[in-house]
Structure 1
């Protein structure tokens, strides 16, 4: 790859990373092209060298945000060697995760948007949910591991979503702690 192609690829990746953070915090309808390009230190005119349209950028950003979660979930499970499932639960239902939606799980922040979409984004969302279910199922050797994985993932995502949405900080903390205790 030539120098200018390498620079173009690096710029594309930088814009995509910024956009993926923004879609996790603001949703897929909010981030504007001009402000994203400005944040990336680029002009609005340079946008079309990297993306066919705003929808193209947002779809790519959502797909990238979703894909980032797999490694984080795997690392969380490995933190507790004796009980990987508890390690995953503790990391996912942490105040740190709740308070960092820009780097947090996109399954939480993009669920409603994916539900209204019928494109590559919705397929990427489904793929990520299936990936998480397989990961959680693999931590359980019981006969009903798949059903338990579905229940666990639903509780994880729901608890983080609600804990971010309520105004009372103590209640938000209680949601995370109670669901974590029950899942463990």
Structure 2
């Protein structure tokens, strides 16, 4: 194949996956509004024009990025379970310790999408397709955190609230105190 020939179907799918992954990270790090299509495509080394061949709009990409970010979270939760075969409570305790760590606080781009994408989704129209994708992800996480058959929205809210506040106060002693207080307030197995 010579010159600027057409990209193979496999390569097109790979490019699309790279754009979605980059968007999932950049939207968490900055904000949808702060990330231009040009920034995004430069990040993965593709041309600006290629974006609209792959995605209807930036909003459509936000939906896909949200789905991808929660799929990554589901894989992370499965890893915590795999480290504690048959002991979901221990896996939950480990996840909570990690969630409220300075490491997770400082890793915004790869961090939890529940926290990282919240302001992006809140800023979207109520009809935006990213909203149901986000809500589904939040419900999945709340079910994983459950101690009985019900979803644990209170634990999830404590985690997300603490992480949000800790990130907003990072660099101060208050940030560490918020993480420690939330950890103490939650019923962990550690």
Are 1:163 and 2:172 counterparts?
Answer: no
Greater shift in the superposed pair: 21-30 or 57-66: 57-66
1:146 match: secondary structure: coil
Match of residue 120, structure 1, among 96, 118, 129 = 129
* 1:176 aligned residue: 179
Q: Which TM-score applies when normalising by structure 2?
A: 0.83
* 2:111 aligned residue: 104
After the TM superposition, which residues 144-163 of structure 1 pair with which residues of structure 2 at under 5 Å, given as runs? 146=150, 149-163=152-166
* 2:51 aligned residue: 47
Q: Which TM-score applies when normalising by structure 1?
A: 0.86
* 2:96 aligned residue: 89
What is the total number of aligned residue pairs between the two structures? 176
CA contact (8 A) 1:33 1:44 kept: yes
Measured against aligned partners, the alpha-carbon deviations of 1:122-171 in whole angstroms (never above 9, x if no partner) come to 0011101110111111xx24xxx637x12111101111110000144321
Q: Could you say if the C-alpha distance between residues 167 and 113 of structure 1 is closer, same or farther in structure 2, counting changes exceeding 3 Å?
A: same
Post-superposition, which runs of at least 4 consecutive aligned residues in structure 1 deviate over 4 A? 77-82
CA contact (8 A) 2:63 2:133 kept: no
User: Which has the larger share of helix?
Assistant: 1
Q: Which runs of 5+ in 2 are unaligned?
A: 1-6
Aligned CA-pair RMSD: 2.0
CA contact (8 A) 2:27 2:120 kept: no
Measured against aligned partners, the alpha-carbon deviations of 1:86-105 in whole angstroms (never above 9, x if no partner) come to 11211111111111010000
Deviation at 1:56, TM superposition (A): 2.0
Q: Which runs of 5+ in 1 are unaligned?
A: none
